[in-house]
Structure 1
Amino acid sequence: MLILDTVSRIVHVATAIILVGGSTFILCVLLPSAKQLSDDAHQQLATAINGRWKKFVHGGIALFLISGFYNYFRAIPNHKGDGLYHGLLGAKMLVAFVVFFLAAALVGRSEKLAGIRANKAKWLKVVVLLAAIIVSVSGFLKIRGSAAQAPESAAAVIVETSGEATPVSVE
């Protein structure tokens, strides 16, 4: 399982790097630079980029879902009864679904979502901001570990006396 766990984690993080980095590049570099082009050249560039980028977005969403659910189900036993972990992870997953929707809408063809594509810069800002929140929550949860590993209080200290571990409060 170690190999599968490692591959799943690498796929999940690499997908985040590619999609968040690509979205940030489009927002901060490509869109401002494209404003300098004529309307016709701008439209041609947007169409060409959208055609390629959509493959990354759709493939990335699929990889996120597969690796994310695998990682989640592997982590559940380590976080049984850990309300903070499950609350933050649940919120992260809900925000991720919003990001998936917006990212798909930005590269899609649905007429009902044309308003999102018409305001690409605005919605890319939302995507990048939400992605930063997701990465922040993920980083916190990874560093925090499970509740079983953490002391009940930040001020708790384990003191070893005569071969026995005894919790001592230092408040």
Structure 2
Amino acid sequence: MEILDVISRITHVGTAIVLIGGSAFTALVLMPAASQIPDESHQTLRAAVAERWKRFVHAGILLFLISGFYNYVRAIEDHRGDGIYHALIGTKMLLAFVIMFLAAALVGRSAALQKLRQQRGRTLTIMLTLAAAVVAIGGYAKVRGVPVDVPQEITVDAEE
């Protein structure tokens, strides 16, 4: 399983680099530069970028879900009874789901989510802030290791 563990970790981190990096590029470079061109050209560029970027977003979400689930299942055994770990990873997952929703909303066509697309800069800022929190939580959870005082096996006495 070790090679699968490595592949899953590389997939998870690599996907984060591409999607967070692409979102940061869009918010910090592309949008300010595109605002300098005429509106018609700006709209053409926005549509072309969104059409291409949505493939990365959709594939990235799928890769995140698969590799994240695999990584969690592999780590769960080492963290039985480790409440702090589960709280951290649970928070990380919830924030990641919000990020995935916002990313999909930005490249989607749903009329109900049009406001998120109209406020693209704000939505990207929220996504990048949440992504920074997810990276921080994941990094801490990974390097903190498994505390030695966490019971590895929980047993229930049948007579109680």
Q: Settle same-fold status: TM greater than 0.5.
A: yes
Quick one: distance in 1 between partners of 2:94 and 2:125? 18
Secondary structure class of the residue paired with 1:148? coil
- Residue in structure 2 matched with residue 32 of structure 1 by the alignment: 32
Moved over 4 A (4+): none
1:162 aligns with none
TM-score normalised by L of structure 2: 0.92
Alignment of 1:66-145 (within 5 A): 66-145=66-145
Whole-Å separation in 2 of the counterparts to 1:101 and 1:18: 17
Larger relative strand fraction: 1
Write the distance in 2 (CA, Å) between the matches of 1:103 and 1:140.
24
- Residue of structure 1 equivalent to 2:63: 63
Distance 2:11 2:88 in 1: 22
- Please give the TM-score of this superposition, normalised by the length of structure 1: 0.86
Distance 1:10 1:100 in 2: 19
- Residues 104, 145 of structure 1: CA spacing in aligned structure 2 closer, same or farther, 3 A cutoff? same
Greater RCO (Cα-Cα under 8 Å, separation 6 or more): 2
Q: Deviations over 1:143-166 (max 9, x none)?
A: 10112389xxxxxxxxxxxxxxxx
In the alignment, what sits opposite 1:158?
A: none
| Bigger proportion of residues as helix | 2
For 1:154, the equivalent position in structure 2 comes to none
1:128–1:43 CA distance, 2 compared to 1 (3 A): same
Percentage of matched positions with identical amino acids: 55
**Whole-angstrom distance in 2 between the partners of 1:112 and 1:141:** 36
Instruction: For residue 120 of structure 1, report the CA deviation from its aligned partner.
Output: 0.1
Match of 1:10 in 2: 10
Deviation at 1:16, TM superposition (A): 0.2
RMSD: 1.0
Structure with the greater alpha carbon radius of gyration: 1
How many residues were matched structurally?
Answer: 150
